[in-house]
């Protein structure tokens, strides 16, 4: 074996060790969010900090630097297989970025955000923004430190966007969000003026938690979720975590007065999980074994939740199953009426409960706030007032409490600034993928109506999931759809769908 081949094998083994640390850290985070005793959180946060510090130091070690120097040499790099070449590219990007952050500063940040998530839960429960304020101020302050250390082009926020959607910038987002808002707001106004409003009264009843869970488990099986490689748990804020392709866990929440919430949250998180469970085996144990970006990841969850899960075809097949899980509660309500009810459009306070149309406006509020925090035009202490005024401007409603307003999302507690835009990007990618899917699988909604969801899962696995991080998001969307991100597909989808629902 030649010297460069030995280096390649040592590099891959080194990255696999780093992935093992990531898996352990991910499991600890999952435990803290699902069942860890409250008194154990501070100590567990310290453990996460210690393990994260080891992982961080490995990413910037002399040994990693040596691997990268050797494997980026033109002669060696030209002989690398495609997977290892992309592994090197990704590690080099992380190395160059992380090398600029002192390890002790990174560990302090990991411990801070781990503790902040637990504080956020209490602050939200008690409607007490002041409790969370010092943590959030420190998280923003440290992110500003990181941005200066990393360096950036254009807007400071670009450095954070790149963590979740490589290549995305404020300039691009401003453009696509302006396009969406220009057509979404008039459509929302037309819907509000329509006399053909859906009846939702039959949803205003109590639905047993046990039956909600039973139906959620049923739907996961129908969608092809592998329970030998995952599980379903309950938490405050639904999420999916991919520890490895053979261990991808889903959480959801069950609201007794809202059966639709758990169903859609479960379908949404299953979309994420199917991505992680169907990564190509050749990527296992590498830094390519994951979603290429959060926007592409969200395209999978939003595709399943909204474009499939809220469709008439879907409920023509599964509405009878829902009725059987809740005997007597939905008798006399036809599937078509149920579909109209769950596609109701109305400005609301909570992002994760928002309809498809107003959801993007929720994201724009957060996007504008995050830009403001990092260009210095907004202060953390002023966020409740800013949040409420922007909700009034964008959605015409104002939160009565901070728990229903600025405290509703966990993302900022975890330091995930730059993440929110990926949700709207996911909606855009999803509509663009649906357009391509319908060309390649013209009977897609006939399959849905027949309960044959696996061909759709397989198409997504073949075109998106199996590739992991081998392609950049912009490259992947071009490979699959033949063009760059185009918000027109989402706008056309929304206009066609809701003109039909509301008789416009």
Active-site residue numbers?
A: 269
> DSSP letter string over 437-487?
HHHHSTTHHHHHHTT--HHHHHHHHHHTGGGTTSS-HHHHHHHHHSSS--T
Tokens representing residue 76 in the block: 């060696």
d(CA 397, CA 375): 26
Give the DSSP H/E element, type plus range, for residue 252.
strand 247-252
- b (16+ CB within 10 A) / e for 434-457: bbbbeeeeeebbebbbeeebeebb
Angle at CA of residue 302, ends 487 and 446, nearest 5°? 95
d(CA 222, CA 310): 15
Would you tell me how many other CB atoms lie within 10 Å of the CB of residue 403?
A: 17
Q: Are 166 and 475 in contact (CB under 8 A)?
A: no
d(CA 24, CA 31): 11
- Give the chain's radius of gyration (CA, Å): 23
Which residues pair with residue 389 across a beta bridge?
none
Q: Are 345 and 200 in contact (CB under 8 A)?
A: no
Which residues pair with residue 252 across a beta bridge?
234
What DSSP character marks residue 469?
A: T
d(CA 304, CA 459): 13
Total residues belonging to the chain: 504
In the block, tokens 């504008």 appear at 368
User: Which residues fall within 8 angstroms of residue 122, CB to CB, at 6 or more apart?
Assistant: 128, 131
d(CA 306, CA 415): 27
CA 279 to chain CA centroid, Å, is 17
d(CA 12, CA 278): 21
Would you tell me how many other CB atoms lie within 10 Å of the CB of residue 179?
A: 16
User: Which residues fall within 8 angstroms of residue 458, CB to CB, at 6 or more apart?
Assistant: none
d(CA 450, CA 247): 30
Q: Are 293 and 275 in contact (CB under 8 A)?
A: no
C-alpha distance across the termini of the chain, in Å:
69
């Amino acid at each position: 074996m030649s010297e460069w081949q030995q280096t390649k094998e040592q590099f891959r083994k080194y990255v696999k060790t780093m992935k093992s640390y990531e898996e352990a850290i991910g499991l600890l985070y999952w435990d803290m969010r699902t069942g860890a005793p409250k008194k154990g959180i501070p100590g567990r946060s310290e453990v996460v900090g210690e393990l994260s510090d080891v992982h961080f130091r490995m990413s910037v070690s002399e040994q990693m630097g040596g691997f990268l120097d050797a494997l980026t040499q033109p002669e060696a790099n030209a002989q690398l297989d495609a997977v290892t070449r992309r592994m090197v590219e990704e590690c080099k990007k992380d190395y160059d970025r992380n090398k600029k952050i002192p390890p002790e500063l990174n560990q302090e940040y990991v411990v801070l955000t781990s503790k902040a998530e637990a504080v956020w839960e209490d602050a939200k429960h008690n409607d007490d923004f002041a409790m969370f304020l010092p943590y959030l101020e420190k998280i923003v302050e440290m992110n500003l430190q990181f941005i200066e250390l990393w360096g950036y082009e254009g807007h400071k926020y670009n450095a954070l966007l790149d963590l979740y959607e490589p290549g995305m910038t404020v300039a691009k987002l401003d453009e696509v969000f302006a396009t969406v808002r220009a057509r979404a707001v008039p459509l929302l106004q037309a819907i509000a003026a329509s006399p053909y409003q859906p009846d939702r009264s039959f949803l205003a009843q109590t639905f047993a938690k046990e039956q909600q869970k039973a139906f959620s488990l049923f739907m996961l099986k129908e969608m092809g979720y592998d329970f030998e490689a995952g599980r379903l748990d309950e938490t405050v804020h639904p999420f999916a975590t991919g520890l490895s392709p053979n261990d991808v866990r889903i959480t959801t929440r069950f609201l007794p007065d809202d059966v639709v919430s758990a169903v859609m949250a479960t379908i949404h998180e299953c979309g994420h999980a199917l991505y992680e469970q169907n990564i190509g085996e050749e990527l296992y144990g590498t830094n390519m074994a994951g979603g290429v970006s959060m926007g592409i990841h969200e395209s999978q969850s939003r595709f399943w939740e909204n474009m499939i899960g809220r469709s008439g075809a879907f409920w023509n097949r599964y509405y009878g199953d829902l009725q059987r899980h809740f005997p007597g509660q939905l008798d006399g309500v036809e599937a078509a009426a149920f579909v109209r009810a769950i596609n109701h459009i109305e400005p609301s306070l909570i992002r994760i409960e928002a309809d498809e149309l107003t959801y993007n406006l929720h994201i724009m509020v957060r996007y504008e706030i995050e830009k403001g925090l990092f260009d210095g035009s907004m202060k953390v202490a002023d966020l409740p007032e800013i949040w409420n005024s922007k909700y009034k401007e964008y959605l015409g409603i104002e939160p009565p409490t901070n728990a229903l307003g600025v405290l509703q999302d966990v993302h900022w507690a975890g330091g995930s600034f730059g993440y929110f835009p990926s949700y709207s990007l996911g909606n855009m990618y999803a509509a663009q993928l649906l357009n391509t899917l319908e060309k390649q699988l013209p009977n897609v909604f006939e399959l849905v109506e027949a309960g044959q969801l696996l061909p759709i899962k397989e198409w997504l696995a073949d075109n998106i999931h199996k590739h992991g991080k081998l392609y950049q998001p912009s490259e992947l969307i071009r490979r699959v759809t033949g063009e760059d991100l185009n918000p027109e597909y989402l706008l056309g989808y929304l206009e066609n769908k809701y003109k039909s629902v509301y008789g416009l």
